[in-house]
Amino acid sequence: MGSVLRLRAVVGSIFVLISLVVLRFFQLSEPDLFWIALMGCGVVIFAVGSKWVLDDVRLFSDYRDMWPVFCAAMAIAWLIHAVQLENYASSSALGEFFGTLTVYSTVFLLRLSNVPVVVSGDVLSFGSPSLVGAIQVTPLCGGFLSFLMFIAAFSIVTLDVGRTLGFLRLSLLLLSGAAVTFAATVLRVYVVILVGFRWGMDALSTTHLYLGYVLFLTVACGFWYFALTWSKHLSSGSAK
């Protein structure tokens, strides 16, 4: 039985990796019928793979209840590109607001770190000893899409934990989750700019490409683990 579980965990990990690779190529392509159908299969593969990993790997056993959140995030990431929500995010008033807020929050952190920066709209300019001259922080960098993904995932999870937490606690959780999501976005932009400042454009591009995934998954796991653990604690307390 143990060997079967280990095999299922290995296969599940491969499924998760394949689905993430497919998602990345999907995001870099035009969302035509082929990619939309393939990404639908990717979501299913991810759901099966993540379920096997969470069930069979002891290291991740505490995250079993987060399976619906992972699946929802994967499906939402697929739908965002399928319906070209990026275009809406970059052109809407709310998207521009998030972008502006991110610019000035990032500038605050940079100046706190003694990085000389001049702001002109959404363009940040740097002098010596920076290895990049200027960086544009577009509305897509402003965390609007991450915010929408959080709200969608929160709405799905609320169907489960909402019965335990009640309106006030749910409101507190929503506000704190939104704040943490935005903070992660600002941190991403800040780190990307620091990397470019110290190591140049190639390092900046690589960090820009991958850091978002790492931060988003880390923040999502941490926040929802806290939320679901809190829900369980309250449920057990009320049961007593």
Sheet with strand 118-120: strands edge to edge: 118-120, 123-125, 134-136
Q: Give the model's confidence band at 231: pLDDT under 50 very low, under 70 low, under 90 confident, else very high.
A: confident
162 lies in the same domain as 231: yes
Closest CA to 220 of 66, 18, 95: 66
195 lies in the same domain as 163: yes
In angstroms, rounded to a whole number, what is the distance separating the alpha carbons of residues 222 and 77? 19
In angstroms, rounded to a whole number, what is the distance separating the alpha carbons of residues 107 and 118? 9
205 lies in the same domain as 176: yes
Closest CA to 152 of 39, 69, 216: 69
Which of 4-8, 46-50, 55-59, 232-236 comes out lowest in average pLDDT? 232-236
105 lies in the same domain as 186: yes
Residues 91-110 have a mean pLDDT of 87
In angstroms, rounded to a whole number, what is the distance separating the alpha carbons of residues 184 and 218? 9
Query: According to the model, what pLDDT value does residue 202 have?
Result: 92
71 lies in the same domain as 161: no
Read off the pLDDT of residues 157-173 as tens digits, 9 standing for 90 and up. Answer: 776 666 667 778 888 88
Strand partners, 25: none
Kindly state the percentage of the chain with pLDDT values over 70: 86
89 lies in the same domain as 172: yes
SS3 of 181, please? helix
Which of residues 46, 61, 83 is at a domain's end? 83
Read off the pLDDT of residues 122-141 as tens digits, 9 standing for 90 and up. Answer: 899 998 889 999 998 887 77
Q: How many domains does the chain have?
A: 2
For the cut 70, the answer to whether the pLDDT of residue 182 exceeds it is yes
Q: Give the model's confidence band at 205: pLDDT under 50 very low, under 70 low, under 90 confident, else very high.
A: confident
Read off the pLDDT of residues 54-65 as tens digits, 9 standing for 90 and up. Answer: 888 776 776 777
Per-residue burial over 164-186, b = 16 or more CB atoms within 10 Å of its CB, e = otherwise: bbeeebbeebeeebbebbbebbb
Domain that holds residue 167: 84-240
Query: According to the model, what pLDDT value does residue 104 have?
Result: 92
Which of residues 32, 56, 83 is at a domain's end? 83
123 lies in the same domain as 240: yes
144 lies in the same domain as 203: yes
141 lies in the same domain as 226: yes
Retrieve residue 203's tokens: 């390092």
Retrieve residue 110's tokens: 């940079």
Return the higher-pLDDT residue of 60 and 178: 178
Which of residues 61, 83, 105 is at a domain's end? 83
Average pLDDT along the chain: 81
Residues 6+ apart with CB under 8 A from 53: 9, 12, 13, 16, 60
94 lies in the same domain as 173: yes
Q: Give the model's confidence band at 113: pLDDT under 50 very low, under 70 low, under 90 confident, else very high.
A: very high
In angstroms, rounded to a whole number, what is the distance separating the alpha carbons of residues 121 and 138? 10
123 lies in the same domain as 239: yes
41 lies in the same domain as 117: no
Residues 2-13 have a mean pLDDT of 78
Query: According to the model, what pLDDT value does residue 203 have?
Result: 92
For the cut 70, the answer to whether the pLDDT of residue 2 exceeds it is no
Q: Give the model's confidence band at 144: pLDDT under 50 very low, under 70 low, under 90 confident, else very high.
A: confident
Query: According to the model, what pLDDT value does residue 112 have?
Result: 93
